[in-house]
Amino acid sequence: MQNFVKEFKEFAIKGNVLDLAIGVIIGGAFGKIVSSLVTDVIMPLIGVLVGTVDFKELKMVVGKSTVTYGNFIQNIFDFLIVAFVIFLTIKTLNSFKRKQKAAEATTPVFPISSKEVVLLTEIRDILAKKN
């Protein structure tokens, strides 16, 4: 039993679990921001263009049931905007990673050489051109 508790502590305290927990919390907060952007800014503008001010109010009565398809449309827009923002974020991060790898590839392995090393390198290059 002590081994089990010890293993659980190691698992729970590992960086990956903490990183995941932080990611979930930040993701939830980010989701609220995006939902507010969609609900409070984008959807009213789309509603004005389409002629309906609020999609959530769109509904259809079938018999004794009410189908609130406007809420469904709202959730589709929420999803599309969240997916697009995540796509842009990942695309930007990948771009930064590619630039960083390119910079690392062009960075010389050795520090800037002394005058003697530069002179010897030039002599070596001249001799290589002659051969």
Domain architecture of the chain: domains with CATH: 2-130 (1.10.1200.120)
Instruction: Give the global pTM.
Output: 0.49
Mind listing the pLDDT tens digit for each residue in 82-107?
A: 788 778 888 998 898 888 888 777 76
Q: What is the pLDDT of residue 83?
A: 82
Residue 48 binned pLDDT confidence (cut-offs 50, 70, 90): confident
Residue 53 binned pLDDT confidence (cut-offs 50, 70, 90): low
Q: Are strands 60-62 and 65-67 parallel, antiparallel or unpaired?
A: antiparallel
Helices 2-13 and 15-36, axial angle in degrees (round to 10) = 50
Q: What is the pLDDT of residue 76?
A: 84
> 3-class SS at 112?
coil
- Answer for the pair 48, 40: CB distance below 8 angstroms, yes or no: no
Q: What is the pLDDT of residue 82?
A: 76
- Please say whether the dihedral angle defined by the alpha carbons of residues 113, 116, 117 and 118, taken in this order, is positive or negative: positive
Mind listing the pLDDT tens digit for each residue in 4-46?
A: 888 887 777 776 777 788 888 888 888 888 778 877 887 778 7
Q: Of 27, 43, 40, give the one whose Cα is nearest residue 80.
A: 43
Whether 62 has a pLDDT exceeding 70, the answer reads: yes
